[in-house]
Structure 1
Amino acid sequence: MHQRKIHHTSVSLTDLGFGASVIGNLYQVTAVEDATAAVEAAWEAGIRYFDTAPHYGLGLSERRLGAALRDRPRGEYVVSSKVGRLLVPNDQPRGVDDEGFVVRDDLRRRWDFSRDGVLRSLEDTLERTGLDRLDIVYLHDPDDHWQQAADEAMPALAELRDQGVIGAIGAGMNQSAMLARFLHETAADVVMLAGRYTLLDQSALDDVLPAARALGKSVVAAGVFNSGLLSRDRPAEGMKYDYQDAPPALVARAQAIADVCAAHGTTLPAAAIAFPYTHPGIINVTLGMRTSEQVRRNAELHDQHVPDALWDDLRAQGLIRSDVLTGRDGERDARCL
């Protein structure tokens, strides 16, 4: 699988990344055998970038990912994890985590973007994964913690990066405006942008993507299916958009995009995966994958031909923004970076 380098670093990511939140029992239990098989299928498909976080299953995702990668050559893959939520003992457990993961709540999350919190979080992650290092570390959802994240957490990560302990640093969020601030105002190399540059939402064109282009920094795209609405050939009522039931108007718009995709001999989910790559600042699309079957399907969708003319037609019909780059535009602008 093709690899692209995070600008100004030595870290390269395969086109597709493996999002490990779901193997941390996101929304439902995933058997350990299925989680391991999913990582193995990702490896067989050529995926060498794996993303996790303490938040995912109160450490379960990190433990499972580390175990699944343990016998792989360490120099052949990239792992990212995140800081900002420390896992601490839960003095008032109720039995099951209340933040979307089907795991026991013997631990709880505590927001902490201090220097000490960052160092402790990294130490805990290395212990859970069994890894000797992390290649990328993101600040995780610092929406309500800008000051401490920018003034304490990011300088701590920058020091570790400059010492060669970490390969690249950044932030991961579901919004784009603050990610642009991280690119402009901090030492961030890369940001993970969730859900804000998709076939249904191109709001990142207003802030983080221009910032990445201007500064020569990199963006990883996540949430490209917008919680599921773009994951099927024919969207239907009852599907999710940004973790909520999709409004009828958005379902109708997704169906219209699917019609244009079919007219160009491709499918909606294949186009959803291909779309972020039209922008030269985006170097990777990371997808949550729970089973080996999902891995193989996503790899096939990634390989499916999506013609540049599709983007032109979607723009002409007002189904995506007029300032979206086509593949040809993106290639030209990439050469200018």
Structure 2
Amino acid sequence: MAPRLSDRRRIGETGLELPVFGFGAAHLGELYARVEESRSHATLQSAWDAGIRYFDTAPWYGRGLSEHRLGGFLRTQPRDQFLLTTKVGRTLKRPANPAQFDRSPWVGGLNFEVVFDYSYDGIMRSYEQAMQRLAIDTIDALVIHDLEAAYHAPDAFAAHQRDLVASGMKALEELKAAGDIKAYGMGVNTSEALEKVASQVQLDFALVAMPYTLLDQSSLYAGLKTCIDNKTSVIIGAPFASGILVTGSGADTKYGYDNAPAAIQQKVRDIEAVCADHSVGLPAAALQFVLAHPAVAAVIPGAARPEEVTQNIASLQAQIPSAFWADLKAKSLIDPQAPTPSGSN
């Protein structure tokens, strides 16, 4: 049976239960294209009207724009009817020269410079700034964001890790103990980060972007197994691998937040052929595949227009025959040990 919007799963050993399907607000920060204010609001309204009640954002998304837009919508809704997560580890400040400031990689976004800080003070300041941008005084869970080698020079990366272990975690533990947040986790983009960085501290959940998708199960035997062993839940943040698993193969498709390489394009074409044989939509396969893993509590695909919300929900609820998953495994297009919605490995 396909998942339902009303289904909820517990996060770690906390009292927080998240809907299995949420809304990832990164696209409202204007990564690939500008998003009109009216379209941003219409997209969020469409998600709300459809019954989505879990929303995720971050200071990094549009350098504050995503939080402003999401909070501007959610603050008009009853607070006890939705769940909200955002991220810490970055604070924002006015650039020295606003007129010449480069907002990249965001096509749009806001004119604020990012400062990485994973210390006690940095976590607390990031949390307080986020609430002000959101105009909401309660956040359900916080995510340590982008503490990975790819985002920092080697010396800075090591220093940030030390800051988190020495004092940053204390901030999160205090907020959780006081009831200000219900849980905390770490966002990761690589299998290495999931296995080596996230495991250095005790977490309620890991927000995993790229290492577990229909195209990549590299974290299956190490990172995800560690999550199960540590009773750390997983939220899948990029079920469409940043684009290609919803757009399909073709020119200008995105994978890993960049243009999709030829090998990925070919693998997607091979999966599309199996989809065609079984009359299964590629986005439906992508969403339902990740939710079948026992560590996964929720999936949060993004959307930048109302019709994308509608399409995502339809993909979540589509019926997929067991033979489809068996065929993908037979053709070595997914790992033979990867859990699938049919329940067979």
Deviations 1:177-209 (A, max 9, x none): 333345543231001000111111111113221
Secondary structure (helix, strand or coil) at the match of 2:52 reads coil
From 105, 108, 116, the counterpart of 1:102: 108
Alignment-mate amino acid for residue 41 of structure 2: T
From 36, 46, 55, the counterpart of 1:50: 55
Question: Does the 8 A contact of 2:93 with 2:114 survive in 1?
Answer: yes
Aligned match of 1:335: none
CA distance in 2: counterparts of 1:320 and 1:56, whole angstroms: 31
CA distance in 2: counterparts of 1:40 and 1:12, whole angstroms: 23
Unaligned runs of 5+ in 2: 149-156
From 277, 293, 299, the counterpart of 2:307: 293
Identity of aligned residues (%): 36
CA distance in 2: counterparts of 1:150 and 1:264, whole angstroms: 49
Alignment-mate amino acid for residue 116 of structure 1: D
Alignment-mate amino acid for residue 88 of structure 1: K
Secondary structure (helix, strand or coil) at the match of 1:82 reads strand
Aligned match of 1:200: 215
Question: Does the 8 A contact of 1:6 with 1:283 survive in 2?
Answer: yes
From 212, 234, 238, the counterpart of 1:219: 234
Residues 86/168 of structure 1: CA separation in 2 closer, same or farther (3 Å cut):
same
Question: Does the 8 A contact of 1:115 with 1:156 survive in 2?
Answer: yes
Query: How far does residue 226 in structure 1 lie from its aligned partner after superposition?
Result: 1.4
From 161, 166, 180, the counterpart of 1:146: 161
Deviations 1:235-290 (A, max 9, x none): 22431211222222221211111111222221111101111012110011111111
Q: Does 1:325 align with 2:331?
A: no
From 274, 299, 310, the counterpart of 2:324: 310
Alignment-mate amino acid for residue 266 of structure 1: V
TM normalised by structure 2 equals 0.90
Aligned match of 1:172: 187
Count of residue pairs the alignment pairs up: 329
Q: Does 1:277 align with 2:291?
A: yes
Question: Does the 8 A contact of 2:29 with 2:106 survive in 1?
Answer: no
CA distance in 1: counterparts of 2:94 and 2:128, whole angstroms: 16
CA distance in 2: counterparts of 1:172 and 1:41, whole angstroms: 26
Residues 207/92 of structure 1: CA separation in 2 closer, same or farther (3 Å cut):
farther
CA distance in 1: counterparts of 2:221 and 2:161, whole angstroms: 20
Residues 14/125 of structure 1: CA separation in 2 closer, same or farther (3 Å cut):
same
Q: Does 1:4 align with 2:9?
A: yes
CA distance in 1: counterparts of 2:83 and 2:195, whole angstroms: 24
Aligned match of 1:35: 40
Query: How far does residue 151 in structure 1 lie from its aligned partner after superposition?
Result: 2.8
CA distance in 2: counterparts of 1:205 and 1:191, whole angstroms: 14
CA distance in 1: counterparts of 2:97 and 2:222, whole angstroms: 41
Unaligned runs of 5+ in 1: 333-337
CA distance in 1: counterparts of 2:276 and 2:51, whole angstroms: 28
Alignment-mate amino acid for residue 275 of structure 1: F
CA RMSD of aligned residues (A): 1.8
Residues 268/87 of structure 1: CA separation in 2 closer, same or farther (3 Å cut):
same
CA distance in 1: counterparts of 2:25 and 2:242, whole angstroms: 15
Query: How far does residue 308 in structure 1 lie from its aligned partner after superposition?
Result: 2.9
